[in-house]
Amino acid sequence: MTELMGHHAIVTGAGSGAGEAIAMALAEQGAKVTAIGRRQAPLDALAARWDRIFPIAADVTDAEAMLAAIAKSVEKHGAPTIVIANAGSAESAPFLRTGVDMFRATLDVNLTGVFNTFQACLAKMNQKQPGRLIAIASTAGLKGYAYVGAYCAAKHGVIGLVRSLGLELAKTGVTVNAICPGFTDTPMLHRSIDNIVEKTGRSREDAEASLRDVNPQGRFIQPEEIADTAIWLCSDAAASITGQAISLSGGET
Protein backbone atom coordinates (compact mmCIF):
# COMPACT_ATOMS: atom_id res chain seq x y z
CA MET A 1 0.00 0.00 0.00
CA THR A 2 1.14 3.56 -0.63
CA GLU A 3 -1.19 5.70 1.46
CA LEU A 4 1.78 7.46 3.09
CA MET A 5 3.94 7.79 -0.02
CA GLY A 6 5.87 11.06 0.12
CA HIS A 7 5.89 11.19 3.91
CA HIS A 8 9.00 11.13 6.07
CA ALA A 9 8.35 9.40 9.40
CA ILE A 10 10.62 9.36 12.42
CA VAL A 11 10.22 6.54 14.96
CA THR A 12 12.16 6.29 18.22
CA GLY A 13 12.71 3.05 20.08
CA ALA A 14 12.50 1.39 16.68
CA GLY A 15 14.89 -1.48 17.36
CA SER A 16 12.30 -3.84 18.87
CA GLY A 17 8.74 -4.29 20.07
CA ALA A 18 6.12 -1.71 19.17
CA GLY A 19 8.68 0.64 17.60
CA GLU A 20 9.82 -2.04 15.19
CA ALA A 21 6.22 -2.87 14.26
CA ILE A 22 5.38 0.81 13.74
CA ALA A 23 8.44 1.41 11.56
CA MET A 24 7.56 -1.60 9.39
CA ALA A 25 3.91 -0.54 9.08
CA LEU A 26 4.86 2.98 8.02
CA ALA A 27 7.29 1.64 5.43
CA GLU A 28 4.63 -0.73 4.12
CA GLN A 29 2.35 2.29 3.66
CA GLY A 30 5.00 3.97 1.51
CA ALA A 31 6.68 6.36 3.97
CA LYS A 32 10.40 6.84 4.26
CA VAL A 33 11.20 5.94 7.85
CA THR A 34 14.07 7.14 10.01
CA ALA A 35 14.43 4.47 12.70
CA ILE A 36 16.12 5.77 15.86
CA GLY A 37 17.32 3.74 18.82
CA ARG A 38 20.25 3.45 21.20
CA ARG A 39 21.73 0.32 19.64
CA GLN A 40 22.88 0.29 16.03
CA ALA A 41 22.71 -3.47 15.40
CA PRO A 42 18.93 -3.94 15.80
CA LEU A 43 18.33 -0.84 13.68
CA ASP A 44 20.57 -2.19 10.94
CA ALA A 45 18.71 -5.51 11.06
CA LEU A 46 15.41 -3.66 10.72
CA ALA A 47 16.69 -1.56 7.81
CA ALA A 48 17.86 -4.73 6.05
CA ARG A 49 14.22 -5.87 5.91
CA TRP A 50 12.95 -2.80 4.01
CA ASP A 51 14.79 -0.31 1.84
CA ARG A 52 12.52 2.54 3.01
CA ILE A 53 13.89 2.29 6.57
CA PHE A 54 17.04 4.23 7.47
CA PRO A 55 18.77 3.63 10.84
CA ILE A 56 20.31 6.28 13.10
CA ALA A 57 21.61 5.48 16.58
CA ALA A 58 20.78 8.14 19.18
CA ASP A 59 19.65 8.33 22.81
CA VAL A 60 16.33 10.15 23.26
CA THR A 61 17.42 11.35 26.71
CA ASP A 62 20.24 13.36 25.11
CA ALA A 63 18.76 16.54 23.60
CA GLU A 64 21.89 17.37 21.59
CA ALA A 65 22.11 13.86 20.20
CA MET A 66 18.48 14.01 19.12
CA LEU A 67 18.96 17.39 17.44
CA ALA A 68 21.91 15.96 15.52
CA ALA A 69 20.01 12.80 14.56
CA ILE A 70 16.99 14.74 13.31
CA ALA A 71 19.21 17.18 11.38
CA LYS A 72 20.91 14.21 9.72
CA SER A 73 17.58 12.62 8.81
CA VAL A 74 16.21 15.89 7.41
CA GLU A 75 19.31 16.39 5.28
CA LYS A 76 18.77 12.97 3.72
CA HIS A 77 14.97 12.72 3.50
CA GLY A 78 13.53 16.20 4.01
CA ALA A 79 11.37 17.57 6.80
CA PRO A 80 9.46 15.01 8.84
CA THR A 81 5.69 14.85 8.54
CA ILE A 82 5.12 12.00 11.02
CA VAL A 83 6.87 11.63 14.37
CA ILE A 84 6.30 8.67 16.67
CA ALA A 85 7.94 8.96 20.10
CA ASN A 86 7.94 5.34 21.16
CA ALA A 87 11.16 4.87 23.15
CA GLY A 88 10.54 3.86 26.74
CA SER A 89 11.52 1.59 29.59
CA ALA A 90 9.96 0.34 32.82
CA GLU A 91 11.32 -0.81 36.16
CA SER A 92 9.29 -1.87 39.15
CA ALA A 93 9.94 -1.37 42.86
CA PRO A 94 7.95 -0.50 45.96
CA PHE A 95 7.81 3.26 46.44
CA LEU A 96 10.13 3.28 49.46
CA ARG A 97 12.68 1.28 47.48
CA THR A 98 12.49 3.55 44.44
CA GLY A 99 15.71 5.52 44.54
CA VAL A 100 15.91 9.02 43.17
CA ASP A 101 18.32 7.87 40.45
CA MET A 102 15.83 5.26 39.24
CA PHE A 103 13.02 7.83 39.39
CA ARG A 104 14.99 10.36 37.35
CA ALA A 105 16.12 7.75 34.82
CA THR A 106 12.51 6.63 34.31
CA LEU A 107 11.36 10.20 33.74
CA ASP A 108 14.30 10.83 31.42
CA VAL A 109 13.55 8.08 28.94
CA ASN A 110 9.74 8.01 29.14
CA LEU A 111 8.93 11.71 29.46
CA THR A 112 11.97 13.83 28.65
CA GLY A 113 12.62 11.52 25.70
CA VAL A 114 9.22 12.43 24.25
CA PHE A 115 9.90 16.12 24.89
CA ASN A 116 13.31 15.93 23.17
CA THR A 117 11.88 14.03 20.21
CA PHE A 118 8.89 16.30 19.67
CA GLN A 119 10.92 19.49 20.10
CA ALA A 120 13.70 18.47 17.71
CA CYS A 121 11.22 17.28 15.09
CA LEU A 122 8.61 20.03 15.37
CA ALA A 123 11.31 22.64 14.72
CA LYS A 124 11.83 21.01 11.29
CA MET A 125 8.18 20.36 10.40
CA ASN A 126 6.12 22.54 8.07
CA GLN A 127 3.26 23.40 10.41
CA LYS A 128 1.14 24.70 7.54
CA GLN A 129 0.96 21.18 6.11
CA PRO A 130 -0.64 18.09 7.67
CA GLY A 131 1.64 16.52 10.24
CA ARG A 132 1.44 14.06 13.10
CA LEU A 133 3.11 13.92 16.50
CA ILE A 134 2.26 10.65 18.27
CA ALA A 135 3.53 9.49 21.66
CA ILE A 136 3.31 5.83 22.59
CA ALA A 137 2.30 6.21 26.21
CA SER A 138 0.53 3.52 28.27
CA THR A 139 -2.55 2.83 30.31
CA ALA A 140 -0.11 3.79 33.09
CA GLY A 141 -0.67 7.34 31.86
CA LEU A 142 -4.41 7.01 32.51
CA LYS A 143 -4.48 5.21 35.87
CA GLY A 144 -2.18 3.99 38.63
CA TYR A 145 -0.49 0.64 39.06
CA ALA A 146 1.23 -0.52 42.22
CA TYR A 147 5.04 -0.78 42.28
CA VAL A 148 5.61 1.30 39.15
CA GLY A 149 5.09 4.79 40.54
CA ALA A 150 7.94 6.32 38.56
CA TYR A 151 6.68 4.82 35.30
CA CYS A 152 3.11 5.97 35.99
CA ALA A 153 4.33 9.47 36.84
CA ALA A 154 6.29 9.64 33.58
CA LYS A 155 3.43 8.38 31.42
CA HIS A 156 0.94 10.73 33.09
CA GLY A 157 3.39 13.48 32.17
CA VAL A 158 3.35 12.35 28.55
CA ILE A 159 -0.45 12.62 28.47
CA GLY A 160 -0.25 16.13 29.91
CA LEU A 161 2.33 17.14 27.33
CA VAL A 162 0.20 15.75 24.49
CA ARG A 163 -2.94 17.54 25.67
CA SER A 164 -1.11 20.84 26.06
CA LEU A 165 0.74 20.64 22.76
CA GLY A 166 -2.41 19.54 20.95
CA LEU A 167 -4.09 22.78 21.98
CA GLU A 168 -1.00 24.84 21.17
CA LEU A 169 -0.88 23.46 17.63
CA ALA A 170 -4.63 23.23 17.04
CA LYS A 171 -4.63 26.00 14.43
CA THR A 172 -1.77 24.42 12.50
CA GLY A 173 -1.79 21.31 10.36
CA VAL A 174 -0.08 19.24 13.05
CA THR A 175 -2.08 16.99 15.37
CA VAL A 176 -0.71 15.60 18.64
CA ASN A 177 -1.97 12.38 20.23
CA ALA A 178 -1.00 9.55 22.52
CA ILE A 179 -1.65 5.84 22.14
CA CYS A 180 -2.04 4.14 25.52
CA PRO A 181 -1.60 0.36 25.26
CA GLY A 182 -2.16 -2.03 28.10
CA PHE A 183 0.34 -4.81 28.75
CA THR A 184 1.88 -5.51 25.34
CA ASP A 185 3.69 -8.60 24.10
CA THR A 186 7.15 -7.04 23.75
CA PRO A 187 10.64 -7.67 25.17
CA MET A 188 9.89 -5.05 27.86
CA LEU A 189 6.92 -7.11 29.07
CA HIS A 190 8.99 -10.27 29.07
CA ARG A 191 11.58 -8.55 31.28
CA SER A 192 8.80 -7.50 33.66
CA ILE A 193 7.58 -11.09 33.87
CA ASP A 194 11.14 -12.26 34.56
CA ASN A 195 11.34 -9.70 37.35
CA ILE A 196 8.09 -10.94 38.92
CA VAL A 197 9.32 -14.53 38.81
CA GLU A 198 12.67 -13.61 40.34
CA LYS A 199 11.26 -11.47 43.14
CA THR A 200 8.19 -13.50 44.07
CA GLY A 201 9.14 -17.08 43.27
CA ARG A 202 5.92 -17.51 41.30
CA SER A 203 5.87 -19.64 38.18
CA ARG A 204 6.22 -17.90 34.85
CA GLU A 205 2.74 -19.06 33.91
CA ASP A 206 1.23 -17.47 37.03
CA ALA A 207 3.18 -14.25 36.48
CA GLU A 208 1.99 -14.00 32.88
CA ALA A 209 -1.60 -14.71 33.90
CA SER A 210 -1.54 -11.98 36.55
CA LEU A 211 -0.68 -9.39 33.88
CA ARG A 212 -2.79 -10.85 31.10
CA ASP A 213 -5.90 -10.82 33.26
CA VAL A 214 -5.65 -7.05 33.76
CA ASN A 215 -7.04 -6.84 30.21
CA PRO A 216 -10.78 -7.68 30.32
CA GLN A 217 -10.31 -9.54 27.04
CA GLY A 218 -7.80 -11.79 28.82
CA ARG A 219 -4.90 -11.24 26.43
CA PHE A 220 -1.82 -9.14 25.78
CA ILE A 221 -1.94 -6.33 23.24
CA GLN A 222 0.10 -7.13 20.13
CA PRO A 223 2.65 -4.63 18.75
CA GLU A 224 0.90 -4.72 15.37
CA GLU A 225 -2.27 -3.35 17.01
CA ILE A 226 -0.33 -0.32 18.20
CA ALA A 227 1.13 0.08 14.71
CA ASP A 228 -2.32 -0.11 13.11
CA THR A 229 -3.63 2.56 15.50
CA ALA A 230 -0.68 4.80 14.64
CA ILE A 231 -1.33 4.33 10.93
CA TRP A 232 -4.96 5.37 11.42
CA LEU A 233 -3.89 8.48 13.35
CA CYS A 234 -1.64 9.35 10.40
CA SER A 235 -4.53 9.12 7.94
CA ASP A 236 -6.76 11.93 6.70
CA ALA A 237 -9.64 10.32 8.61
CA ALA A 238 -7.96 11.37 11.88
CA ALA A 239 -7.39 15.01 10.93
CA SER A 240 -9.70 16.22 13.72
CA ILE A 241 -8.24 13.95 16.39
CA THR A 242 -5.78 15.92 18.52
CA GLY A 243 -4.84 16.21 22.17
CA GLN A 244 -6.24 12.74 22.81
CA ALA A 245 -5.06 9.71 24.78
CA ILE A 246 -6.40 6.63 23.02
CA SER A 247 -6.67 3.58 25.26
CA LEU A 248 -5.74 0.32 23.55
CA SER A 249 -6.45 -2.03 26.39
CA GLY A 250 -9.35 -4.42 25.79
CA GLY A 251 -11.68 -2.31 27.93
CA GLU A 252 -9.41 -1.83 30.95
CA THR A 253 -10.56 1.03 33.16
Per-residue pLDDT tens for 96-124?
Answer: 999 999 999 999 999 999 999 999 999 99
Query: How far apart, in Å, are the Cα atoms of 178 and each of 6, 34, 55, 138?
Result: 23, 20, 24, 8
Q: What is the mean pLDDT of the chain?
A: 96
Per-residue pLDDT tens for 180-227?
Answer: 999 999 888 888 888 888 888 898 998 889 899 999 999 999 999 999
Among 54, 103, 118, 151, the active-site one is 151
- DSSP result, 189-248: HHHHHHHHHHHH---HHHHHHHHHTTSTTSSPBPHHHHHHHHHHHHSGGGTT--SEEEEE
Proportion of the chain above pLDDT 90, given as a percent: 88
Active site residue 151: yes
Contacts of 212 (CB under 8 A, 6+ apart): 183, 218, 219, 220
The pTM for the full model equals 0.96
What Rg do the C-alpha atoms of the chain give, in angstroms? 17
